[in-house]
Structure 1
Amino acid sequence: MHYAIVDPATGTTVQEYPTATGAEVFAALAAADEAHRGWSRSSTVAERSAILREVARLHRERRDELAQIMEREMGKPAAQGTGEIDFSALIFEYYADNAEKFLTDEPIDLLAGTGTAVVRRSSLGVLLGIAPWNFPSYQVARFAAPNFAAGNTLLLKHAPQCPGTAEAIEKIFADAGAPQGSFVNIYATNEQVADLIADPRLQGVSLTGSERAGSAVGEQAGRHLKKVVLELGGSDPFIVLDAVDLDATVEAAAAGRLSNVGQVCNAPKRFIVLDQVHDAFVAKFQSVLKERAPQLAPMASRAAADHLAQQVRQAVESGAEQFLAGEWNGARVPAVILTGLDPEDQVAKEEFFGPVALVFRAKDEAHALEIANNTDYGLGSYVYGADADQVARVADGIEAGMVYANCVQADGVELPFGGIKRSGFGRELGKYGIDEFVNKKLIRTR
């Protein structure tokens, strides 16, 4: 595994980082274990929250520097990167402000007998966070903030193309006063990750990434009886029920599909449009994508762009008609609309991790739900319509961890994030995010 910053716009290697040795990886684990046995168990939630509040402040203070690092690593324009940094800061602040409330003792009403019963939350120990490249700062914040607040100590294994972001975030924690071993960045290989999971000192793993990576880590964690949270891919449906305010619906569809050059796990990818709206939706969608395509940044790598192009070719070979807004040029890709693809075709069920929209025609509401749920994924989903009762009914019928009704890009630090089926399990953010890696200890007193 090679850790390096490779500018996706040019393919030029900007900076290389040495992969950790086995000794370095296990020294990091030992330091994290020692920090948990000492500092974590003696510190208070308020003390840990104070550190997180400083982590948030430093993210804002260094936002331009962090955004520039991300732009070099995975092509995200700096203006978008600063927004990601600000959202990351909000996550750290949210848990700094709410951790004490989330971790307070929870009394249980006894059905029989005298005395009391409470559930007391406490840390598990050392956790490993495996982060992806598409949101280099935000994905780390989702893992780090709640688990640090709970008293766990953290090892970060970032994507090989994001070593600079990993290094910068580790420095922020150190400068914020986090004790040695409480947050440690490691440039580990996949084999070293497997060794870490096997070590009894590691108590859990949180991974955001591909289905293949999640399957491998989940298998290793299960073999060693370790708790795991997996946030994997998605092929999220976007159901259009009527033509009321169709311009706004198309704008939302384009915004959701083009955000981060389409490299968003819970972005809308399959647009399922009722028959009477389909043709008008497609025409407007084409017009908007043609207008927005020139503004697209490069994808995170040439390899990612090549994989996306291969998927589009496969879809066309399977009978899809394609609309291209732009051209294929290295890591720069066009915005693409694919229509006429059979929902039963295997390529129609894949995740297109780039600015490609698959549009399907549905006969009615029931058919739209059938197409929406005809996937192995179940992360996010979207429903647009003017009839509130119908929207609520369709939202209930979608098989996914999240439904957004008449809104896109409506994520919030207080809202739980996660999926079902092959999109993974467990939740991040909100009060649910801090509950994944804690011991919910029953204390029954008579």
Structure 2
Amino acid sequence: MRDRQVEVVLGGHAVAHVAGAVIVVAHRGPGRITPDDTAAVALESLAELVCSAVEEAPAGPGAAVARQATRWLMKHAEQISPGVPIDFGVLSAADNGGVAIFLHGAVTAVLAGEQGSEYYRGSDAAFTVDRVASEPAKAVALFVDDAKGRIPDLPPARGVGWLVEGIAQAGGAVVWSNDVRSHVRTADPAARRLPPPTARIDREPQAPQADSRPVEPPATGMQPATSMMDAVTSATGPAHGTADQQSYAHVENPRGSTDPAPEPDPDLQRRLEATARSTVLTVKVMGFKCARAHPSDPRAAFCTVCGMPVDQTQALAEVVRPPLGMLVLDDGMTFLMAADAVIGRDPENSEAAQRGLIPLRIDDTSGGMSRAHAEVHLVNWDVQLIDRGSTNGTRSRPPGYRDWIRLTPNQPLVLVPGTEVMIGNRVFRYEPAAPPPFG
């Protein structure tokens, strides 16, 4: 998105345009932002995250941004703001020519098209909003919600202000579409580092100075980026991806046919989040607490939430169970494991959904996926997968193994981090929500 005009709007929050991405962090403290405020520190940390994602995936960092931002929330956010959530949003480019949206907390993304505006609200999600949307005809914007959940109106027309690179104190940012000419020339990720956080926070928002460098030709579309998570290798070929990335580029089913991963379903994710939001805080189990008082699996040496070491000599106590990990689908969609779920091509009206399981619909063109194919159950601190007698079966591949193993129907399989699961012609991988901080 570095070839788009990024215009800031009036307000007291922290906004950055760095390495082609736009970051907005809410400032909830009194007065103007200072370099030591939580919003400024978080903005600098997130900007470093974005730069790292660009270095990891220079052809398009959207997937890497989503993956790293999720883990940043689980591992670093509590250190920056103990006990107080950090509201933020990130816009970056997506490999389908659209825009990747990542939101946490009271931040809203607005996609303004010819027929009206579409809204993605971080406050409506159980944990995060992780989306890929088509590039809107007019603009895409990030705004911080006010105390009553309201957001500013999108400017009626493009202004003259242009945040070329760096940070500003503002209420949000608008990325205008279509006929904007580029003001950024370098393609070297290392050259696009964020200026120090004092660059613009210590003065009133103002339009950037005119750029004396030559103007690039008109842009024809957003810069490509990985869709949501780096599960699909780029078009540059296998040499540019990890082994895991290469394995998801095209999935082969036992019958030998292949199908490309379909587009994620945003309506399904909204239903998933609504159900998870109502159930995630109701399950109590016996566990430990880390030094930051996060609940954690008593069998684990590291905290389930932040990844820090856990004192395993402490007495067991009743704790509210946190999410137990993520399912990462082969199209990059991620699902946080906060409640039991039923997986299939049409699980909404299944018996399992009537029992209260979250319906997790996955598109599949192979004909090998049942309407309600398998269930995922959270039992104490374990994530269990159960094939419910599907016609074509469910296969799993433990980490480090080459061969797929067919599950025995109605017999639970405990998923360990790195386990891959194939249903129909789709594959997902189970990953921890927070990795250990060392090694």
Higher strand share: 2
TM-score band w.r.t. shorter chain? under 0.3
Highest RCO, 1 vs 2 (Cα 8 Å, sep ≥ 6): 1
Q: TM-score, structure 1 length as denominator? A: 0.22
